[in-house]
């Protein structure tokens, strides 16, 4: 079964009561039991909900996983994964990770006794050098947010097997349409469903997909015990969004390539970060482990003042956090998505005050480029 077919049908049988082709929103807190100890698979909505279950089965199919669990946000999904670790256990993390992930690890989980090392996971030798007896997990973003660096997932998976580590991949930027980490050897995939999976900027959620039954039982236990579940309505919204994921991602990438090529040629742009450009240092790896390059681009205009002038001048593109919606969104990572990362660390990673990130939408690409052009032309 092809990807687009699975996106539309997997986990979504017609409603047996009415024949409705769309999975209903089961907006209920509890389920009546036929008699003591006998029910229809659903007892309480925090534990199970038919709408959420349909989405979880759909996501498992798209990521080639056996199990999937949906959460109230991407951050709650990541929290559940890290709660698999015990006090004093160690996790290696991509140093150029999302600011919210860094904040969770450094400000919430580190004080509780977990240990973290941030390394350039593009370099497998750096990962290996960071492994210690307490290391239990490698958590990577690929491409990274916002510098768009790649980690070789298959190579990282081999290293993790050698040392008995769990490999977790945040696949939010690519979606399962362009990248499927479990097929490359990863143990766990995490998504912010808020982004490309939902695709319409009207829902917040997260998902964990995996194959190991024992790990799945652990995540399921945490999902129920902590209770940070995705609501029935949000589950329905994401299911609705995924039905068009294949066609949206194709248009996102077509527009993304055009915008990246435009930015590379513009005299006001100092540097462009996009794995679909041949000048990207990991272009060959991108072609090997991804089926497309996506629509996330970062570019440097030279200073905070110029970035602010540009961001205040766009008209079609919207200045906002988040990404992956049908509309084009621009943001300033240093003061928005990565404000929680210390200044010196941002500079070391290349998250300069002049860096702008754009999530290229699916509008007519000529209109996107025209808007970027007029905003860039205003820069002194």
List active site positions: 46, 98, 170, 195
DSSP, collapsed to helix, strand or coil, labels residue 204 as: coil
Of 327, 76, 290, 349, nearest to 171 by C-alpha is: 290
- State the Cα–Cα distance between residues 191 and 205, nearest whole angstrom: 8
* Cα–Cα dist 319/309, whole Å: 12
Query: Helices 245-265 and 365-377 sit at what angle, rounded to 10 degrees?
Result: 30
Count of residues for the chain? 380
Handedness of CA 12, 216, 105, 132 (dihedral sign): negative
User: 373 with 324: CB under 8 angstroms?
Assistant: no
Q: Is 274 helix (H, G, I), strand (E, B) or coil?
A: coil
Give CA 198 to chain center in angstroms.
11
Q: How far is CA 340 from CA 139, 287, 343, 350, 357, in A?
A: 19, 32, 9, 15, 17
Tell me how many degrees the CA angle 96-353-75 measures, rounded to the nearest 5.
Answer: 40
Q: Map residue 81 onto helix, strand or coil.
A: helix
Closest CA to 193 of 147, 153, 231: 231
| Coil, strand or helix at 276 | coil
Burial 207-229 (b: 16+ CB within 10 A, else e): bbbbbeeebbebbbebbeeeebb
Kind of pairing between the strands at 188-192 and 166-170: parallel
Q: Tell me if 190 sits within 8 A of 168, measured CB to CB.
A: yes
């Amino acid at each position: 079964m092809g990807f687009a077919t699975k996106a539309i049908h997997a986990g979504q049988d017609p409603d047996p009561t009415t024949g409705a082709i769309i999975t209903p929103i089961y907006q209920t807190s509890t389920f009546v039991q036929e008699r003591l100890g006998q029910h229809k698979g659903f007892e309480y909505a925090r534990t199970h909900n038919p709408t959420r279950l349909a989405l979880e089965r759909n996501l498992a199919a798209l990521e080639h996983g056996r199990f999937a669990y949906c959460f109230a946000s991407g951050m709650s999904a990541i929290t559940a994964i890290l709660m698999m670790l015990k006090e004093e256990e160690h996790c290696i993390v991509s140093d150029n990770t999302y600011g919210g992930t860094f904040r969770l690890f450094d400000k919430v989980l580190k004080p509780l006794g977990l240990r973290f090392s941030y390394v350039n996971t593009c370099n497998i030798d750096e990962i290996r050098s960071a492994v210690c007896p307490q290391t239990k997990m490698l958590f990577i973003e690929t491409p990274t947010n916002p510098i768009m660096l790649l980690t070789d997932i298959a190579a990282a998976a081999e290293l993790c097997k050698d040392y008995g580590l769990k490999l977790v991949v945040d696949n939010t930027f690519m979606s399962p349409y362009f990248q499927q980490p479990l097929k490359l050897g990863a143990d766990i995939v995490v998504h912010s469903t808020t982004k490309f999976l939902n695709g319409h900027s009207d829902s917040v959620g997260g998902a964990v997909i995996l194959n190991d039954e024992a790990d799945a039982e652990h995540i399921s236990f945490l999902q129920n015990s902590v209770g940070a579940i995705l609501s029935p309505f949000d589950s329905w919204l994401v299911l609705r969004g995924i039905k068009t994921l294949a066609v949206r991602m194709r248009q996102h990438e077509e527009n993304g390539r055009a915008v990246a090529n435009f930015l590379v040629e513009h005299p006001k742009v100092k540097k462009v970060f996009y794995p679909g450009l041949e000048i990207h240092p990991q272009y060959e790896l991108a072609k090997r482990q991804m089926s497309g390059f996506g629509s996330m681009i970062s570019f440097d205009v030279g200073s905070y003042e110029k970035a602010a002038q540009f961001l205040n001048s766009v008209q079609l593109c919207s200045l906002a956090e988040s990404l992956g919606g049908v509309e084009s969104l621009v943001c300033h990572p240093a003061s928005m998505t990565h404000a929680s990362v210390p200044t010196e660390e941002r500079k070391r990673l290349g998250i300069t005050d002049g860096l702008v990130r754009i999530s290229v939408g699916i509008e007519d690409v000529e209109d996107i480029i025209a808007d970027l052009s007029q905003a860039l032309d205003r820069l002194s």
